[in-house]
Amino acid sequence: MVAESVRVRAVQVAAGGDLPAYVYDLPGLRAHAGAVQAAMAGSAQVFYAVKANPAAEILRTLWPFVDGFEVASGGELALVRELLPDAPVAFSGPGKTDAELALTRELGVHRLHVESPGELARLIATGARQDILLRANPDLPGADIRQAADSPFGMDPDGLATCVRLLRDAPWITLHGIHAHLTWDRHDAPAMAELARRVAAWALPWLREHLPAVTEPELDLGGGMGVDYGAPHTRFDWPAYSAALSSLGSELESDLESDLESGLESGPGSGRDRPVRLRIEPGRSLTAYDGWYVTDVLDVKRTHGRHYAVLRGGTHHLRTPVARGHDQPFTVIHRASAGPALTGTVTLVGQLCTPRDVLHRDAEVTGLRVGDLVAFGLAGAYAWNLSHHDFLLHPKPSFHYVDGP
Which residues form the interface with ligand PLP (CB under 6 A)?
A: 49, 51-52, 70, 92, 181, 184, 222-225, 281-285
- CA torsion sign for 70, 72, 75, 78 is positive
Q: How far is the CB of 135 from ligand PLP (least distance, A)?
A: 8
Q: Is the dihedral of CA 323, 324, 327, 329 positive or negative?
A: negative
- Give whichever of 21 and 148 is closer to ligand PLP, judged by the CB atom: 148
CA neighbor of 235 nearest in space, from 280, 293, 284: 284
Q: Cα 262 to chain center, whole Å? A: 42
Residue 250 one-letter amino acid = S
Helix (H, G, I), strand (E, B) or coil at 48: strand
Q: Which lies closer to ligand PLP via its Cβ, residue 14 or residue 69?
A: 69
216: left (phi over 0), alpha (psi -120 to 50) or beta: left
Termini Cα distance of the chain: 18
Q: Which residues pair with 358 in a beta bridge?
A: 349
Our CB check for ligand PLP shows the closer of 207 and 288 to be 288
Cα 349 → chain centroid: 26
Q: How far is the CB of 214 from ligand PLP (least distance, A)?
A: 21
Q: How far is the CB of 30 from ligand PLP (least distance, A)?
A: 19
The residue from 353, 355, 390, 404 that is catalytic is: 353
Return the ∠ at Cα 104 (arms to 99 and 108), rounded to 5°: 155
CB of 20: closest distance to ligand PLP in angstroms?
24
Least distance (Å) between residue 320 CB and ligand PLP: 12
As a whole number of angstroms, the distance between CA 383 and CA 224 comes to: 16
Torsion angle in degrees (nearest 10) through CA of 316, 317, 320, 323: 10
Are 68 and 87 spatial neighbours (Cβ–Cβ below 8 Å)?
yes
Residue 353 a catalytic site member: yes
C-beta closer to ligand PLP: residue 90 or 402: 90
CA atoms of 218 and 200, how far apart (whole Å): 10
Q: With CA atoms as reference, report the closest residue to 114 among 59, 58, 160, 60.
A: 160
Residue 302: strand pairing partners: 307
CB of 113 to ligand PLP, least distance (A): 7
CB of 360 to ligand PLP, least distance (A): 22
- Compare residues 186 and 400 and give the one whose CB is closer to ligand PLP: 186
Q: Which positions are catalytic?
A: 353
